[in-house]
Chain A
């Protein structure tokens, strides 16, 4: 579609939203050409910055009139190209929808607009003794709308679950422009749970009701250094096997530690082949008991140094290295790919050994940072983009890591989503029938395929008409209490 065909809808958007909320200038449009996965780029046809659900609904209806695809965008921190715009379509940015609409402590919930950042929710309720549990590392900037779309997790999802376990209500604009509320108190299909994690393909979230969690009585964070990954891995298995569910268990290998050291001087124990961070939280007595167990298990599995943090400052010092890891590899490598795959935790030692093998085979370094408790790997595949062929080799290693995850019964993504980046891997994890069945959901919500098309699914399903043989009359219909379909 040429830029010209967008002229008329763009004018309509301006009438609707005011000129300040519509971007058509090519230079400004380029600000939005990619999300956190920067090697996929496309300049959006038009960008709109609506301020309400009604405005979003009106924008979507105009898109329907012209058959224009639309893509929602929060903060653009996504790592799978989910918010990659369409050159022939509309990018709906939620940055003007940043109000926390209500904080309701007695009901343990907050109602927010989709552009509110993840951390802003916690900041609004922390003094009241509460927080919003899912904590993606990008929480300072990423939006709750993006979290809902990606079903984002975080270091603490081992114990507390993901976005889907903490969202109790949504207001959405459907792909044909209706405003619909989905609530956990409603009867019928769990469309709330179905919408979360649908990566913007089932509509746009315009209001999010989240559950607030009580701040725990005690938090204890412990850092254990091991000679190698195997020993660290054995400690993780023994902790989980011992019936302990820590709030978080994170592991970094030597290369990742080296990078973190170069970036933030986190002063992790010298000579560590693996660093394990274990966070325990909950009632004081329970935490004290578990802390004893965890330290014992770490020692038994060869930890040569254990550090403990009981207050926020010490805790931040322990987490600093881990939290900086992604950005930090920039210090030791000109370019890198962040991978996100999952294996059953018991397969971690073997998969890590095989990743090491791949690294040698292709001459590509891989730094491993991972959520060890749930087997979610974030290998950082390092390469020098100035070196001919290095980028291609890194791509191969990165792809082969996903193959390893699938081979071990895991997943191609634990939290970053499929987006455009991984849609080609979906047929390796799912059969055609699986994917077609998922797309039945897509067709029900979005028969015209306008909401974030080209994401998740390698081949879109043509929705077509449903033949629909209608049979019988339900008593409710007869009595006029329900309409039939």
Chain B
């Protein structure tokens, strides 16, 4: 299209590997600056083009398929104003990064200074922007929080091409609304994230994992539940407490991570605690399943109040499907994987039934990814009393519904 080319940004026809939830965009643009993104968005506004921002494409199948998608904005060539992809202020433990930066590149830049962005459980080939837009987080959320907790500034381009920033370069800052919170987990429905500023942490001096395979379910305290409670309150302060249950009828494996100085002796303390539930092993390496999603094709996320995690596990088992559960059990954010061939009816039944069970427990369920064939009739997001407010936000930010339309909760 003429007008897109006139922006001077590299634009070419989309190839099939760039489909978004099965929808093939018409063009892919590769802007190199926030200003170029703004130029693309202005053209899109003038020509009523629907836009989906994308990074490494590791989660383009997440969320609902967009109602339409004319232009895919690939952020991977984006640079900061100074022409770089990372501005690292080591002394301040802060980094400003381009949204298109791959996490593994960021990791290696920061690690030279003994620092890190304390967010795991995200594919390192993915981009910063993609991680923010989907709000994924891994085991260490128990100690460090999730992306929203570590993000201290953001720059976005809105549907009409307006460039807006909030927050800044300092960790402590309460000036103005925090647009970073709104955009984290917004699945590209409010605008394009082009820059992010993060609070960093020193890389821990040492790490140990303490693992119990097949946690004994005997005794008064429901096994898993009691152990998780003890670990979460342990004065040795684990940074993460993860569970893996490969099959609904089997006992789960539990693993805790301790980080920092004296990790070895703190791990020893936890080992003694965990030994009561099976035989606990200390390792310097993470278990193979650690921070890896339990599956790729059909993946759900369950969230309940922490003490209800074991009840959520029981609810999953009671559904009778071969579901693998894995996740941050002390934070009660669990991922469930189902076989790709689960079938439309069984899948719908599983989601609706489990969602009702979880609601009873004060929680909820999101379908992160599932092929459209089985998820067509399923509400991937679940109900929320705040949906009317969310719709009003969307109307203000994107009145023409051109940003990833239909990809998000409630058809937003």
Chain A residues in contact with chain B, CB under 8 A?
A: 104, 106-109, 129, 150-151, 153, 157, 161-162, 164-165, 174, 178, 180-182, 184-191, 193-194, 196-198, 214, 216-217, 237, 240-241, 243-245, 282-286, 289-290, 342-346, 371, 374-376, 409-418, 422, 426, 429-431, 433-438, 440-445, 456, 466-477, 479, 481-485
Task: Pick from B68, B237, B388: contact of A283, CB below 8 A.
Answer: B237
Task: Pick from A165, A181, A283, A484: contact of B266, CB below 8 A.
Answer: A283
Q: Can you list 13 A-B contacts with CB-CB less than 8 angstroms, sorted by A residue number?
A: A174-B389, A186-B384, A191-B393, A198-B177, A344-B89, A346-B92, A410-B173, A415-B172, A436-B162, A441-B396, A442-B177, A444-B389, A485-B392
Residues of A contacting B397 with CB < 8 Å?
440
- Residue B278 is within 8 A (CB to CB) of chain A in the complex: no
Residues of B contacting A164 with CB < 8 Å?
149, 178, 181
A193–B178 contact, CB under 8 A? yes
- Residue B340 is within 8 A (CB to CB) of chain A in the complex: no
CA distance in complex: A237, B395 (Å): 46
- Given the contacts A245-B201, A468-B399, A484-B411, A197 and B262 also touching, CB distance less than 8 Å: no
Q: How far is the CB of B59 from chain A (nearest CB, A)?
A: 15
Chain B residues in contact with chain A, CB under 8 A?
A: 48, 64, 67-68, 89-94, 114, 135, 145, 148-149, 156, 158, 162-166, 168-179, 181-182, 184-186, 190, 201-203, 205, 229, 232-233, 235-237, 260-262, 265-266, 303-308, 362-364, 366, 376-377, 379, 381-382, 384-397, 399-401, 405-406, 408-412
CA distance in complex: A69, B306 (Å): 40
A344–B94 contact, CB under 8 A? yes
Task: Pick from A237, A414, A433: contact of B173, CB below 8 A.
Answer: A414
| Nearest-CB residue, chain A, relative to B333 | A185
CA distance in complex: A413, B172 (Å): 8
| Nearest-CB residue, chain A, relative to B392 | A444
CA distance in complex: A243, B260 (Å): 10
- Given the contacts A197-B177, A290-B261, A411-B175, A181 and B386 also touching, CB distance less than 8 Å: yes
B92–A437 contact, CB under 8 A? no
Residues of A contacting B266 with CB < 8 Å?
283, 285-286
Residues of A contacting B145 with CB < 8 Å?
161, 165
Residues of A contacting B406 with CB < 8 Å?
472, 474
Main secondary structure of the interface of B (DSSP, over half): loop
| Nearest-CB residue, chain A, relative to B395 | A466
- Given the contacts A187-B409, A190-B181, A426 and B399 also touching, CB distance less than 8 Å: no
Extra contacts, 11 of them, besides A104-B305, A186-B384 (Cβ < 8 A), are A107-B305, A150-B174, A164-B181, A241-B91, A243-B114, A344-B91, A414-B170, A441-B182, A476-B410, A479-B377, A484-B411
CA distance in complex: A189, B148 (Å): 12
Residue with the highest number of chain B CB atoms closer than 10 Å, among A109, A437, A442: A437
| Nearest-CB residue, chain B, relative to A439 | B177
A194–B182 contact, CB under 8 A? yes
Task: Pick from A182, A371, A466: contact of B399, CB below 8 A.
Answer: A466
CA distance in complex: A69, B410 (Å): 31
Residues of B contacting A151 with CB < 8 Å?
174
- Given the contacts A415-B172, A466-B395, A430 and B364 also touching, CB distance less than 8 Å: no
Residues of A contacting B391 with CB < 8 Å?
485
CA distance in complex: A470, B398 (Å): 11
Residues of B contacting A216 with CB < 8 Å?
235, 237
Q: How far is the CB of A4 from chain B (nearest CB, A)?
A: 34
B92–A344 contact, CB under 8 A? yes
Q: How far is the CB of B162 from chain A (nearest CB, A)?
A: 5
- Given the contacts A290-B261, A409-B170, A474-B406, A106 and B182 also touching, CB distance less than 8 Å: no
Residues of A contacting B395 with CB < 8 Å?
444, 466, 468, 485
B168–A409 contact, CB under 8 A? yes
Q: How far is the CB of B155 from chain A (nearest CB, A)?
A: 9
Residues of B contacting A180 with CB < 8 Å?
385-386, 389
B262–A283 contact, CB under 8 A? yes
Residues of A contacting B185 with CB < 8 Å?
189-190
Residues of B contacting A150 with CB < 8 Å?
174
CA distance in complex: A345, B148 (Å): 22
CA distance in complex: A23, B33 (Å): 56
B93–A433 contact, CB under 8 A? no
CA distance in complex: A189, B384 (Å): 10
B181–A193 contact, CB under 8 A? yes
A285–B261 contact, CB under 8 A? yes
B409–A286 contact, CB under 8 A? no
Residues of B contacting A344 with CB < 8 Å?
89, 91-92, 94, 169-170
A108–B306 contact, CB under 8 A? yes
| Nearest-CB residue, chain B, relative to A214 | B233
B166–A444 contact, CB under 8 A? no
Residue with the highest number of chain A CB atoms closer than 10 Å, among B186, B205, B307, B393: B393
